[in-house]
Amino acid sequence: MRHVPQVAALGALALAGTLLAAPAHAQSAAENYVALGDSYSSGVGTREYFEDSGDCRRSPHAYPQLWADANGVADFAFDACGGATTDDVNAEQLGSLGADTTLVTLSVGGNDVGFADVVQSCLLGTDSSCDDAVTEAVQEATSVLPGKLDTTYANIGEAAPNAEVVVLGYPRLNDLGDCGIPGFTVAKRERLNEGADELAAVISERARAAGFTFADPRERFDGHGVCSDAEWINGPSLPLVESFHPNVAGQAEGYLPTLEAAL
């Protein structure tokens, strides 16, 4: 799925100013960028999606599209898809990679450990059932996920041997102050955040072992989680798929600067 930015000749002067302010990594027309991964990369939560992206819900507000737009890349393949697991990335998202790919970004692993089910358990169940759900997910993250990530990273490295690969992690979901969500106790929110930290440790370790860059969004999102005064992550929402995903501000102010800093 390609959405290549177009810059009119009359806008060249303005574009030049933008590129001067862009990260040093930006290579403008020399960049061939492929964005892989799950809903945190496709932009689920922003509530606006490219019509041709279907259930993958790729958004013009997602950080990959924002980075491509800002840097005038020569070729941009936006292949991230909401709900993707490592198996989905390996089976369905590697086709755009090649020897001419210069940049790959990726977020994956949350769905492998049952992200949606864990959040549901914490919203609807007791503190104890939330703790049990997070504990089970952490066990999956430490025992099974490393091998899945190693396989995925190896496949990306083989398919795009000349690319810089940036693996983006996940933010802590919640702030711990007053919260208007019934039953969403401080204990539940703390336990979910602890689970995010455990997952980050696994993903960062395996990414670095593969020779990739790990970009950690947790610090950027601190103070902007669910139940904060300025939420960058949606709380319970309709449609449900929008819940507990970065909103437009989360993509632009949280994930995009995290990628820029990594590059």
- The residue among 114, 32, 16, 62 whose CA lies nearest residue 245 is 62
Q: Which residues have CB under 8 Å from 161's CB, separation 6+? A: 99
Which positions are annotated as active-site residues? 39, 245
Does 1 map to a domain? no
Does 237 map to a domain? yes
Does 2 map to a domain? no
Report yes or no: 130 and 122 within 8 Å, Cβ to Cβ: yes
Backbone angles phi, psi at 217, to 5 degrees: -90, 0
**Residue 145, pLDDT score:** 98
Written as tens digits, the pLDDT of the chain (263 aa) is: 544 443 333 333 233 333 333 444 444 445 999 999 999 999 999 999 999 999 999 999 999 999 999 999 999 999 999 999 999 999 999 999 999 999 999 999 999 999 999 999 999 999 999 999 999 999 999 999 999 999 999 999 999 999 999 999 999 999 999 999 999 999 999 999 999 999 999 999 999 999 999 999 999 999 999 999 999 999 999 999 999 999 999 999 999 999 999 99
Report yes or no: 111 and 149 within 8 Å, Cβ to Cβ: no
**How far apart, in whole angstroms, are the C-alpha atoms of residue 260 and residue 145?**
27
Does 225 map to a domain? yes
Does 4 map to a domain? no
- Residue 130's region, left for phi above 0, alpha for psi from -120 to 50, else beta, is alpha
**Residue 30, pLDDT score:** 58
Domain ranges, residue 214? 9-262
Does 3 map to a domain? no
Q: Any idea what the CATH number is for the domain that residue 103 is in?
A: 3.40.50.1110
Does 136 map to a domain? yes
Structural domain total, the chain: 1
Does 93 map to a domain? yes
Record the pTM. 0.88
| DSSP output for 217-262 | -HHHHTT-SBTSSS-SB--S-SSGGGTTSB-HHIIIIIIHHHHHHH
CA 172, 178, 181, 185 dihedral sign is positive
**How far apart, in whole angstroms, are the C-alpha atoms of residue 248 and residue 227?**
17
